[in-house]
Structure 1
Amino acid sequence: MNKLNLLTSLPIVFSLLFCNSNLQSEDHEAHSSSEKVPKKAVAVLFPTQGNDVTGVITLEQKEDGVLLKGKVINLTPGKHGFHIHEYGDLRSKDGKSAGGHYSPEGHRHGSPDDKEHHAGDFGNIDANDEGTATIEVTAKDQKLHMLLGRAIVVHGGADDLKSQPSGNAGPRVSLGVIGLANSE
């Protein structure tokens, strides 16, 4: 094929590719809309290296947001930062591969009661004298399907709710990936 034929056929090739990609996108949207949006998820928390903090957190889509409920055990008594982080990547021994706090709008870190804060900012959980924290918190205006595949992280210290970028809550002592829950 000479250069002239190649140049004149490029617009046709691009048109075909564009039309095909639009058709695939429309088919995907039609197929996706018929699928059910997930309503329940779970995160099983595993300790980072040198820790023994574990737990189970369930997540359920509600009208006003996502309800997180569960228990975390083997904590030191007191407050511990509790957040959803960007990635469900558990490859590093210290939990840092989970990235920073989940913040799709790019807000600054803050209290969950602040007008603007990371979507993954939940403040602190409070461990009793036995080292158990019971959790029941709503992530207001969140959609469960946007949290799937991300990580829930528990920190070794209290979140001060203001230091940037993550509240100075200390090392990550436990984390788990948010995955679809078995409905049975």
Structure 2
Amino acid sequence: MKKFSMFACLSATLLLMGACGSGGSDQTAEGTDTVVATGTDPGDTLTVVGEQPSDSPTGFRAGQRAVAVINAASGSSVTGQAVFTQTGDNKVQMVLNIDGAPQGEHAVHLHQKGDCSAADASSAGPHWNPTKQPHGNREGDGAHHMGDLPNFAVGADGRGRVEVEIEGWTVGGNDTTTSVVDHAIIIHAKADDYKTQPSGDAGGRIGCGVITLQAVQGAQ
């Protein structure tokens, strides 16, 4: 009788373990992302549904992008586009392409307000300067605005290009003092002298675009 009781207990335990094991793989913990796999081969797609963790404590993602479409201001013929890509922790690459600008050197700055509604782009406000620094040369050793950038050249064909990587910027994220999103990029009529306060005597605003965050690929 004792042998039979031990056998019955052992059988019940094994059945219970089997039942637990068979259902566990189909469940996901409450509050976690749902993972849907379309196959088991290395080349198959794995899709994560739900909010995915960012690559940094500040909330931005590596590879995240923002774009500004630049339109004419102050009666100019300037058009163009600026693309901002997060390349690392507090590091952003900006690629700017301009067409229809007068030949010569021009200043480009990020301005406080993402608003290009005024004909002269004055609606974009002053330079983006959350740290309250004097205007200056980002490529020098002195203080400068967060929105200060190097001058760029426009050729006889009216085209100009800037490609720079800026330390201290982010694309989106939790820190509004570093994120370029929702600010304006302004093309000026003249070059920045990097000395005159508060904007380098760069002349009128001949191009303006609002920097808008692009959807992160794969996020839902």
| Class of the TM-score when normalised by the shorter of the 2 chains | 0.7 to 0.9
Taking only the aligned residue pairs, the percentage that are identical comes to 33
Residue 38 of structure 2 corresponds to which residue in structure 1?
none
In the alignment, does 2:109 pair up with 1:76?
no
Residue 157 of structure 1 corresponds to which residue in structure 2?
190
Contact 1:84 1:152 (C-alpha < 8 Å) held by counterparts: yes
CA drift of 1:183 comes to 5.5
Range with greater deviation from structure 2 (34-43 or 144-153): 34-43
CA drift of 1:147 comes to 1.1
The runs of 5 or more residues in structure 1 that have no matched partner are 1-31
Whole-angstrom distance in 1 between the partners of 2:150 and 2:198: 13
CA drift of 1:125 comes to 1.4
CA drift of 1:34 comes to 4.7
Contact 1:123 1:161 (C-alpha < 8 Å) held by counterparts: no
Larger relative contact order, structure 1 or 2 (CA cutoff 8 Å, min sep 6)? 1
Residue 8 of structure 1 corresponds to which residue in structure 2?
none
Q: Determine which structure has more spread, i.e. the larger CA radius of gyration.
A: 2
SS in 2 for 1:163: coil
Contact 1:112 1:122 (C-alpha < 8 Å) held by counterparts: yes
Contact 1:54 1:174 (C-alpha < 8 Å) held by counterparts: yes
Residue 131 of structure 2 corresponds to which residue in structure 1?
105
Residue 176 of structure 2 corresponds to which residue in structure 1?
none
CA drift of 1:33 comes to 8.7
Contact 2:171 2:213 (C-alpha < 8 Å) held by counterparts: no
Tell me the number of residue pairs that the alignment of Structure 1 and Structure 2 aligns: 154
CA drift of 1:49 comes to 3.6
Matches within 5 A, 1:22-33: none
Residue by residue over 1:118-177, the C-alpha shift from the partner in whole angstroms, topping out at 9 and shown as x without a partner, is 010002111012111011012222112211110000001111111100000000000100
In the alignment, does 2:116 pair up with 1:93?
no
Matches within 5 A, 1:5-154: 34=53, 37=60, 39-63=64-88, 65-114=91-140, 115-145=142-172, 146-154=179-187
Residue 27 of structure 1 corresponds to which residue in structure 2?
none
Residue by residue over 1:74-119, the C-alpha shift from the partner in whole angstroms, topping out at 9 and shown as x without a partner, is 1111110101000001121100110111111000111111332001
Whole-angstrom distance in 1 between the partners of 2:82 and 2:215: 14
Any runs of at least 4 consecutive aligned residues in structure 1 with deviations exceeding 6 A, and if so which? none
Whole-angstrom distance in 2 between the partners of 1:158 and 1:133: 13
CA RMSD of aligned residues (A): 2.1
SS in 2 for 1:97: helix
Whole-angstrom distance in 1 between the partners of 2:67 and 2:81: 7
Whole-angstrom distance in 1 between the partners of 2:138 and 2:114: 21
Whole-angstrom distance in 1 between the partners of 2:212 and 2:168: 19
TM, length-normalised to structure 2: 0.65
Aligned AA (1:110)? G
The structure richer in helix per residue is: 1
